[in-house]
Amino acid sequence: MISVNEMRALEINSSALGVPTLLLMENAGRSVKDEIIKRIDVNGKLVYVYVGHGGKGGDGLVAARHLAGEGAKVTVILLGENKHEDALFNQNAIEEMDYSINLIRIKDVSELKPISADVLIDAMLGTGFSGRPREPFRTAIKVFNESKGFKVSIDVPSGLDADTGNVYDDEYVKPDLVITFHDVKTGLAKHNFNVVVKKIGIPPEAQIYVGPGDVIVNIKSRPFTAKKGDNGRVLVIGGSYTFSGAPTLAAMAALRTGADLVYVAAPEETAKIIAGYSPDLISIKLQGKNISPDNLNELKPWIDKSDVVIIGPGMGLSEETVEASKLIVSYLKEKRKPAVIDADALKAISGFELYDKVVITPHAGEFKIFFGEEPSKNIRERIEQVINNARKCKCVVLLKGFVDVISNGVEFKLNKTGNPGMTVGGSGDTLTGIVGTLMAQKLDPFKAAYIGVFVNSLAGSLAYNKLGAHLTPTDILIEIPNVLNNPLEAFKKKVYKRVIT
């Protein structure tokens, strides 16, 4: 089964991969024709197509064209103005087919009357519909149901919520056949309709690889009524006597991704340095030269007030810090706090059983330390390793590499939008900041991980296009908003990697 948002993301990803939605619409409409002529010889028969707004209306127009080509006497009933670009393209074709197709524009619901035909096609309300049908569709649905003939609904019956399956009384089409595309919609599965699933040419890679559709569908525009804190409070625990840059990069990436408040908890002298990098960060000064078990009580109030905790960047592996990492992660687990565990903290807790609100972001070496096995160079074997180990540790694993592999132990995603310049130190820290913020903004950890690595890598590719292999992590920071504001445009500038053979 598939949700409306998942289907929309696939269509956008498909288009980004070079298979445009106009072609998908053509395949959809033709498949409707194919299924109908399997059941009815339409040559010389009466076919009525009720066309609404949006993509479903366009599918109906394509079906009408193909059925006319099979010799059917086709009447298209237009229920208002369609502004969908692909549907308008097909409507223009229908308007030129004035010999084989009768086109009727409904201007008032009183013009809608029950009819008798051989085939009636419902191309009115599609997967974007929810709630109760409004006019002219309410009357059109009633008239459609009262008409005589073999009734076919495209994708979902009009009046049915494609996600929930909810309907209002008799205000939905009751078809003899539903022809749905790519996969059964979740709401459709809740009814006992006669359903046929047709593939329409969406490439498997549109689902396997993270794409711009995943960003567009899952990252919502910020409402004007938003207030401070609504878009995430992120706590970064990191830094040491030696390292101050890593936690700063993670924190700055969190801000660039859209977190409202970002706290950086670091040893006192390091925290002062971090505060000097940017006035945008809230610096928490912990006692001591390195993070130690003594800092846990200092950290607890900040952990409790944050939506997500990032732990590990620049922490180091001193004996006291390793012990502190174990204690902090145990506290996070006790509180079931959403968290991103990376770098030194990940090495410190090798072998821990985690929980389903955690994302870990190892590179190959850290993966070997944490799980006790080296990632395979064969990408398909590597995918299986990530899935199996994500299941064992009960968390999301984001294995960074030439191709990034992400899994929650059940599903997996791949990302290949990176570039050779991202071997620079600090690019993993920007990644943790992005993933952490997406989790703070209530994306589930699996989505936050695969969308986060896509955004980070694509921002890196925008920087790479300008600077080549001379980019720095701060260049990635600058490009994060450009990816989030226009993922499709950014995707066109990616650095391609062809790796699976």
CATH number for 228: 3.40.1190.20
Say if residue 198's pLDDT is above 60.
yes
pLDDT surpassing 60 at residue 36? yes
Q: Are 413 and 206 in contact (CB under 8 A)?
A: no
Under DSSP, is residue 205 helix (H, G, I), strand (E, B) or coil? Answer: helix
Measured CA distances, 233 to 229, 248, 259, 401 (Å): 6, 15, 6, 29
Does the residue 216 lie in any domain? no
Does residue 134 lie within any of the structural domains?
A: yes
Q: In the chain, pLDDT over 70 holds for what percent of residues?
A: 99
Same domain, 350 and 428: yes
- Which of 173, 208, 243 terminates a domain? The answer is 208
119 in any annotated domain:
yes
Binding positions for (6S)-NADPHX are 126-132, 155, 246, 314, 363, 429
Digit-coded pLDDT (tens) for 158-192 = 999 999 999 998 899 999 999 999 999 999 999 99
Mean pLDDT throughout 381-385? 97
Tell whether 215 is covered by a domain. no
Contact 61, 94 (CB under 8 A): yes
**For 46-51, what is the mean pLDDT?**
98
Average pLDDT, the chain: 96
Q: Mean pLDDT across the stretch 22-32?
A: 98
Is residue 498's pLDDT more than 60? no
Tell me whether residue 368 is in a domain: yes
Q: Which residue matches tokens 């991704």? A: 257
Please indicate, yes or no, whether residues 393 and 487 belong to a single structural domain of this protein: yes
Sign of the four-CA dihedral 187, 189, 190, 192 = positive
Do 264 and 127 sit in the same domain of this protein?
Answer: no
Which pLDDT score, from 0 to 100, does residue 371 have? 96
Q: Determine the structural domain holding residue 54 and report its residue range.
A: 4-208
Domain count along the chain? 2
Residues belonging to the binding site for AMP are 428
Radius of gyration from C-alpha coordinates of the chain = 27
- Tokens 């599609």 -> residue: 126
Does the pLDDT value for residue 438 go beyond 80?
yes
Residues 318, 173: one domain? no
Question: How far apart are the C-alpha atoms of 384 and 275, rounded to whole Å?
Answer: 42
Strand, helix or coil for residue 78:
strand
Bridge partner residues of 475 (DSSP):
none
Count the Cβ atoms, other than its own, within 10 Å of residue 34. 15
Domain end position, chosen among 208, 243, 273: 208
pLDDT per residue as tens digits for the range 119-171:
999 999 999 999 999 999 999 999 999 999 999 999 999 999 999 999 998 89
Segment 285-297, tens digit of pLDDT: 999 999 999 999 9
Q: Are residues 153 and 188 in the same domain?
A: yes
CATH number at residue 9: 3.40.50.10260
- Same domain, yes or no: 180 and 229: no
230 and 367 in one domain? yes
- Residue numbers in the known binding site for K(+) are 122, 158
State the pLDDT at residue 226: 85
Interval 292-314: pLDDT, tens: 999 999 999 999 999 999 999 99
* Beta strand ranges found along 327-438 (DSSP E): 339-341, 358-360, 396-399, 404-407, 412-415
The HSE-up count of residue 149 (CA atoms within 13 Å, CB side) is 24
Q: Who contacts 268 (Cβ-Cβ below 8 Å, separation ≥6)?
A: 285, 286, 287, 288
250 and 118 in a single domain? The answer is no
Among the candidates 160, 182, 208, a domain finishes at: 208
Burial of 410 (0-12, 13-18, 19+ CB in 10 A): exposed
pLDDT at 381 > cutoff 70: yes
Q: Does 236 lie in the same domain as 170?
A: no
pLDDT on residue 499? 58
Binding-site positions read 122, 126-132, 155, 158, 246, 314, 363, 428-429
Q: What local confidence, expressed as pLDDT, does residue 501 receive?
A: 56
Return all residues near 135 (Cβ < 8 A) that are at least 6 apart: 109
Pick from 501, 492, 491, 483: nearest CA to 403? 501
Residues 185 and 233 in one domain: no
218 located within any domain = no
Structural domain contains residue 72: yes
Q: 500 falls in which pLDDT band (50, 70, 90)?
A: low
Nearest one of 406, 396, 404, 397 to 460, comparing CA atoms: 404
Alpha carbon distance 405, 296 (integer Å): 33
- Say yes or no: 194 and 336 in one domain: no
Asked whether residue 144 falls in the same domain as residue 271, the answer is no
Measured CA to CA, the distance from residue 478 to residue 491 in angstroms comes to: 16
Does residue 34 form part of some domain?
A: yes
Grade residue 351 by pLDDT with cuts at 50, 70 and 90.
confident
